[in-house]
């Protein structure tokens, strides 16, 4: 009898079975988030690591031309990605272009994150005319066609790396600002904010020492998602001829230059395109996964 009791699986004090728990929405979401994070991290690392280590890899110079080796297909004569229309190693060009594209993307999202965080937090905390000004500004900007606006600014100020970084940064701040504002609106009503005020902390102190640290985590996830968008925007500008001046090899320009050879040298367009897809999908999955994980944690904590 005793033996029988020991070998039996201990009964849960609930009618909910482990199988039901496994299939429950929250468990499934948590599992999906983990998968997203892992897949996203792998895809992102596949692109970002070689780009970051491009200078250390044993690759030819990305600008070194060899007119006798034009448009060699992948895996020919030691060229993993083949060569382009001037005999330059395509992998070296893609990695070199990635440094420019990712640098612009990272700088742009950092700047847009800072602008959005500051403007959104101020709008949410102070309300009144500050909120009105920030809200109207971001509504006005969001109502403009983004790519047209970027092309216009680049046409006016010239296509240099700082200009393109600045325009992408300015283009993306509304996303961050909107999110930050809504979160600060919720946070400012909480007792710890009242307590801080009662203790005589000035508004700036309340905002930056208490409110911003509480919203910055979720904001940074949006910023991560914006990185993919920034890389895509930079590629679109380069593709349209408004990217950084040559000889910067950006992903958009590699595709634009290669499209004339699309039927005879598929790799010139396909491989840079694939790299963009890997990075964008990877970053999006990573961002999505982290957001879902944070939501789950927060819900759990609240419960």
Partner 1 sequence: MRTVMSQTAQISRRTLLKALGVAGGAAAVSGLAGCAGPTGGPPPGSVTLGLNRSLVSLDNKLNQFDAAVTVQRAVRQGLTRIGPDLTPVPVLADRFELTSPTQWTVRLRDDIHYSDGSPVRIEDVSTALEMYAQVNGSYLAAFFPEWPTVVPVDDRTFTLETERPLPVLDYLMANILVTPAAANIPEELQSGLGTGPYVVTASNRGTGEYTLRRNDRYWAGAPHVKQVQVRFVPEEANRVVGLRSGELDLIDTITPDSAEQLQGLPEVRIERVRGTRINQLFYNFRKPKDHPLAKASVRQALSLAVDGRRLADEILAGSAQSAVGPVAQTLNGSVKCGAYHYDPRRAKQMLEAEGINDGDLRLTLIWESGEFAGDTSVMEAVVQMLGDIGVGVTLRQFEAGGNISEWRQGRAGDWDILGNGYASPVGAALPILQGMYGGTPERERTRDTYQGYVNPDVLRLLDEAYAEVDPARRQEITARVQQVVWDSWPSMWAFVPNSVLAYRNRVTDVALEATNSYELANVGLEA
Work out how close the CB of 36 gets to partner 1 at its nearest, in angstroms, rounded to a whole number: 20
Q: Which of 56, 129, 245, 301 binds partner 1 (CB under 8 A)?
A: 245
With binding defined as CB under 8 A, does residue 247 bind partner 1?
yes
Among 4, 7, 9, 263, binds partner 1 (CB under 8 A): 263
> What angle, 0 to 180 degrees and rounded to 10, lies between the N-to-C axes of helices 90-126 and 212-239?
140
Among 129, 246, 301, 303, binds partner 1 (CB under 8 A): 246
Structure tokens, 271: 């491989």
* 94, 272 contact by CB (below 8 A): yes
Q: Which two tokens stand for residue 205?
A: 């102190």
Minimum Å gap between C-beta 65 and partner 1 is: 5
68 lines the binding site for partner 1 (CB under 8 A): yes
Contact flags string 23-62 toward partner 1, x per CB under 8 A: ----------------------------------------
Looking at the DSSP bridge assignments, the partners of residue 89 are 83
63 touches partner 1 by CB under 8 A: yes
Structure tokens belonging to residue 254:
């590699």
11 near partner 1 (CB under 8 A): no
Number of residues binding to partner 1, judged by CB under 8 A: 21
Interatomic CA distance for residues 243 and 298, integer angstroms = 41
At 83, give phi and psi (nearest 5°): -125, 165
Q: Is the separation of the CB atoms in 198 and 233 below 8 Å? A: no
- From the list 11, 29, 100, the residue with the least C-alpha distance to 62 is 100
Q: Which residue has the tokens 């970051």?
A: 52
Q: Which of 30, 32, 85, 141 binds partner 1 (CB under 8 A)?
A: 85
CA distance 204 to 210: 10
- Within a 13 Å sphere around the CA of 288, how many CA atoms are in the beta-carbon half? 16
Per CB under 8 A, the list member of 108, 153, 225, 242 interacting with partner 1 is: 242
Stretch 133-172 residues interacting with partner 1 (CB under 8 A): 155
Please choose, from the candidates 246, 252, 247, the residue with its C-alpha nearest in 3D space to the C-alpha of residue 276.
Answer: 252
Q: Does 86 bind partner 1 (CB under 8 A)?
A: yes
Q: Is 70 in the site for partner 1 (CB under 8 A)?
A: yes
Contact region for partner 1 (CB under 8 A) — 112-120, 171-179, 205-213, 258-266? Answer: 258-266
Which stretches of the chain bind partner 1, using CB under 8 A? 63-65, 67-68, 70, 85-86, 155, 241-242, 245-247, 257, 259-264
């Amino acid at each position: 009898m005793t033996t029988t009791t020991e070998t039996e699986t201990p009964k849960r004090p609930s009618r909910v079975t482990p199988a039901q728990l496994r299939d429950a929405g929250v468990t499934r979401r948590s599992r999906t988030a983990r998968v997203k994070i892992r897949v996203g991290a792998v895809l992102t690392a596949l692109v970002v690591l070689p780009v970051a280590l491009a200078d250390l890899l044993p690759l030819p110079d990305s600008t070194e031309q060899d007119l006798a080796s034009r448009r060699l297909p992948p895996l020919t004569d030691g060229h993993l990605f083949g060569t382009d229309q001037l005999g330059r190693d395509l992998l070296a060009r893609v990695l070199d272009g990635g440094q420019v594209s990712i640098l612009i993307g990272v700088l742009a999202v950092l700047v847009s994150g800072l602008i959005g965080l500051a403007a959104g937090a101020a709008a949410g905390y102070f309300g009144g005319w500050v909120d009105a000004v920030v809200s109207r500004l971001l509504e006005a900007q969001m109502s403009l066609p983004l790519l047209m606006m970027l092309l216009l600014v680049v046409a006016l100020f010239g296509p240099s790396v700082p200009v393109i970084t600045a325009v992408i940064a300015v283009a993306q701040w509304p996303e961050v600002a909107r999110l930050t504002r809504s979160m600060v609106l919720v946070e400012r009503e909480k007792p710890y904010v009242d307590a801080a005020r009662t203790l005589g902390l000035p508004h700036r102190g309340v905002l930056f020492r208490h409110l911003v640290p509480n919203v910055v985590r979720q904001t940074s996830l949006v910023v991560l998602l914006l990185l993919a968008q920034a890389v895509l925007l930079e590629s679109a500008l380069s593709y349209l001829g408004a990217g950084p001046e040559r000889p910067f090899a950006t992903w958009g320009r590699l595709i634009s230059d290669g499209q004339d050879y699309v039927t005879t040298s598929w790799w010139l367009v396909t491989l840079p395109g694939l790299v963009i897809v890997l990075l964008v999908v990877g970053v999006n999955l990573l961002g999505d996964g982290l957001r879902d994980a944070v939501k789950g944690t927060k819900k759990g904590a609240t419960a």
